Structure 1
Amino acid sequence: MIRFDSVSETCLMVMLADEIDLDLTPLIARLASQIDADFTNQLIDIVPAYTSILIHFHPDKVTERLLRERVQLCYERWQGKSRHTGGKLIELPVYYHPEVGPDLVSLAEVKGLSIDEVIALHSGQIYTVCAIGFAPGFAFLASVDEAIAMPRHAEPRLSVAPGSVGIANQQTAVYPSQSPGGWQIIGNCPKSLFNPEQEPMTPFQVGDQVRFQPVDRTAFQSLGGEIWPHWK
């Protein structure tokens, strides 16, 4: 299934599904990459997400009709075939501990698990980057094990530490910078995940895979991690 919606005179929405399907993520990533490569000078931005691709284009340089035709052609060529994108595997160190993960203990209690079991379940998965948004470098990763899936807090925190590793339902993510947020925080990653002075600014692309590697407090601090005392 593919559907095109004209959002505005300069934006085209490509819908590939009505529900989240991780099997679609590699195809979405591949389509977005191909369109970006084919129309580099004609696009303002291209935003792949869980079920869609938003194409923001220069109307004086390319027509919506041409974009639709190209996307449709690529979709028909790749649908049902191997969807491997060549996306990279990103390994991220995480210090799982209540002093950096204020929701770790409560999540374990609600789920009837030990803290070690929560850590093993979270770090035992390989996650897919399904979308990037909310904040620069914030990658939505799916899917966490159902045994540790937890909804967002009803009332978001005013300030979440940079590097915080959180869970929201069946998604997980790392906050690349300090911001408000309502995810269940279970640990912290000391690695910088967004730097506007570097190219690329973030290591993530839709279709990449992510694996978390538990580290102890000493390793966490040696990698630049900081204990966050300002939870609100």
Structure 2
Amino acid sequence: MNRSFVCDIEALADDAWLLRFGDQLDPQLNARVHAIARRLGGEHKPHWLRGLVPAFASLGVFFDPAADPAHIHEELLALLAMDETPVVDASAQAARTVEIPVVYGGEFGPDLESAAAELQMSPQQLITRHSSGVYTVAMIGFAPGFPYLAGLDPALALPRLATPRARVAAGSVAIGGAQTGIYPRESPGGWRLLGRTPKVLFDPARATPSLLLPGDRVRFVAIEADRFADAAP
């Protein structure tokens, strides 16, 4: 079924428009955000475009300050008026799939056992269900390179810790509410820590600093602790 989307275009700054599709966590809204971002930043990228910032249900469009905002507004309206279904389908086909190795449990995932008990399953069942999902990078936020991943099995949703940790290790794979994510660097955090990846999520020295980008697909692959160093980039 072809779903109808309503989008408001708001001024975000003198050199930016905000395309707002809604205000909730909705996979179809997020897919629409990424579809529009891919089209705008693709082969026929407009000369005035300077940057795109996808979020859960909105897209920041930054343009050349010398360009005419009214003209860009008209171009965005024309883009949004196009048939939506083929755009979303093309976006899904173009998305990368990135595999993330994870050592679950023990010192790498100190909340695995308590989370499994709270969910009334064994730690291995939690690992299996968490690593069998295919997730979508809904947005990057909180810290450079931090991916908010949509697609968590609803049966694995967990509340955040009542008291956040002062230090969470870089690479920690965690669940917070109805989402899963990966801490790109050591920082405070209140999500439930299931495991850790040796992959570097953000490196400013790389051509593309963030390992994961909005719209990417992510698969977690469980590995043994003795393979942690070997699985690093």
Segment drifting more, 78-87 vs 162-171: 78-87
SS in 1 for 2:139: strand
Match of 1:159 among 167, 179, 185: 167
What SS does structure 2 have at the residue aligned with 1:198? coil
The 1-side partners of 2:170 and 2:127 are apart by 20
1:46 maps to what in 2?
52
The match for 1:210 is 218
- Distance change >3 Å, CA 151–CA 63, structure 1 → 2: farther
Q: For residue 204 of structure 1, report the CA deviation from its aligned partner.
A: 1.6
Give the corresponding residue for 2:64. 58
Does residue 24 of the first structure (1) align with residue 35 of the second (2)? no
Q: Deviations over 1:119-178 (max 9, x none)?
A: 011001000110011111111101211221112222221111011001111111111111
Hey, what does 2:82 align to over in structure 1? Answer: 77
Please give the secondary structure, in 2, of the residue aligned with 1:72: helix
Contact 2:49 2:61 in 1 (8 A): no
Counterpart contact for 1:27–1:78, Cα < 8 Å: no
- 1:3 Cα shift? 0.2
User: 1:84-99 residue pairs with structure 2 within 5 A?
Assistant: 84=89, 85=91, 86-99=94-107
- Percent of aligned pairs with the same amino acid: 33
Report whether the alignment pairs 1:147 with 2:155: yes
CA distance in 2, matches of 1:132, 1:78: 27
Contact 1:14/1:52 (<8 A) preserved: yes
Contact 1:165–1:185 (Cα < 8 Å) also in 2: yes
Q: Which of 11, 16, 19 lines up with 1:6 in the alignment?
A: 11
TM-score, normalization by structure 2: 0.88
Q: Which runs of 5+ in 2 are unaligned?
A: 1-5
Structure 1 runs not aligned, ≥5 long: 226-232
Pairing 1:130-145 to 2, within 5 Å after superposition: 130-145=138-153
Q: Give the conservation status (yes or no) of the 8 Å contact 1:25–1:206.
A: no
Q: Distance in 2 between matches of 1:221 and 1:59?
A: 46
Q: Which residue of structure 2 aligns with residue 111 of structure 1?
A: 119
**C-alpha RMSD of matched pairs (Å):** 1.8
Q: CA offsets per residue over residues 182-214 of structure 1, 9 Å max, x none?
A: 111100011112111111112322111000000
Partner SS state of residue 98, structure 2: strand
Displacement of 1:41 after TM fit? 5.2
Query: After TM superposition, where is structure 1 displaced by more than 3 Å over at least 4 residues in a row?
Result: 39-42
1:179 equivalent to 2:187? Answer: yes
Q: What is the CA deviation profile of residues 58-95 of structure 1, one whole-angstrom value per residue up to 9, with x for unaligned ones? A: 332x2222222222222221413351310110011000
How far apart, CA to CA, are the structure 2 residues paired with 1:21 and 1:67? Answer: 27
Distance 1:140 1:218 in 2: 28
Asked if the contact 1:129/1:205 (under 8 Å) is kept, the reply is yes
Conserved in 1, the CA contact under 8 Å of 2:35 and 2:87? no
Residue 109 of structure 2: aligned partner: 101
Distance 1:192 1:218 in 2: 18
Contact 1:31 1:71 in 2 (8 A): no
Distance 1:194 1:78 in 2: 36
Inter-partner Cα distance in structure 2 for 1:223 and 1:89: 17
| Counterpart contact for 1:163–1:189, Cα < 8 Å | yes
